[in-house]
Amino acid sequence: MKTLCIKSKIRPLTILFGTILTLASCGEVYDMNGYDWEPDTPPSDSVFNREIQILNLGDNMPKGHLPLDKEDPLFFSLEKFSSVAIAYRSSERWDLSFSGTARSAIGGNNGKRPGFGHGTSSIGAIAVLEAFYEDITEVPEEHLFQQPGYSGLDDQGEFGTPMGQAVYTFFGNFVRESLGQGAPSPEYWHMVYPLNKRLLESFPKATSMYNDIPLRPRTLVIKTASGNYAKIEIESYYKNSLDPLKMIRHRDTPAGCISFRYIVIKAADKRFGFVERGKKLTVNMTTGRTSVSPTN
């Protein structure tokens, strides 16, 4: 155990200052109000008009970026394609937060409304659209954006919302049961599936748990904290697992590692793909590697 030795002749103010320095240097001490101890850097123009894929967000997090517990959110900057330290939760530095069951609850940063970014200049919002990612070519009308934005589980009774981007299977797996192979074994219980094209193609007969309506696609369009736009498809909530048929609740594939793809455009563009795109960029959070696709 380290101790702080201070001579009695030192003034109280000096003692207090020295104590603060010692506390700051021992352990991980964060300013939860988002004090900017590091200068922010502007995003590069190379982020715009290209597809960016993030694999396993939540795994191998940088120091200071990992939430204090499973209920606290992860923060992510779309324009800098990187996670954001939790100390900056009350800042303009992030665009998306992931929390709740398997991090399936998604929030946007709008500093003018109550939320983590409240009191900042952030102007973020979320629109949840019933459409496939590839089919969204324009920014939706302004009245469709929620401020501050929020999206969670889809049509899950009191646990969800009419327009969420994921489904939760509870005790069982109504998604896999649609294959007609009988009741799934317990390792398929309590699964969270994003409502994307790959899921609907893998389980074409799957219906909602509550009303027998066929599952519908969901794509998010985000207004970033700075006012640009991004369309986002959540691909998985399980580490190293993008195929819905192979997703399983196993120790080797823990839930809460989010994979998703997106395209950011500048606010004035209004159309996705209107400007020639750069090559696809993939960021693997587990390995820490960033790669560029050889083709667009």
Nearest to 227 by CA among 147, 115, 291, 138: 147
- Give the whole-angstrom CA distance, residue 266 versus residue 269: 6
| Distance, CA of 256 to CA of 160 (rounded, Å) | 18
Q: Which two tokens stand for residue 72?
A: 């606290």
DSSP conformational letter for 112: T
- Residue 180 is predicted with a pLDDT of 94
Contact predicate 60/286, CB 8 Å: yes
SS3 106: strand
Closest C-alpha to 32, from 75, 70, 61, 62: 75
Find, among 60, 52, 37, the residue nearest to 277 by Cα: 52
Q: What's the pLDDT at 158?
A: 58
pLDDT confidence of residue 6: 36
| pLDDT at residue number 38 | 63
What percentage of the chain's residues is helix, strand, coil (to nearest 5)? Answer: 15, 30, 55
| Overall pTM > 0.95 | no
pLDDT in tens, 173-184: 999 999 999 889
Identity of the residue numbered 200: L
Q: What is the pLDDT of residue 132?
A: 97
Residue 234, helix vs strand vs coil: strand
pLDDT < 50 positions in the chain: 1-36
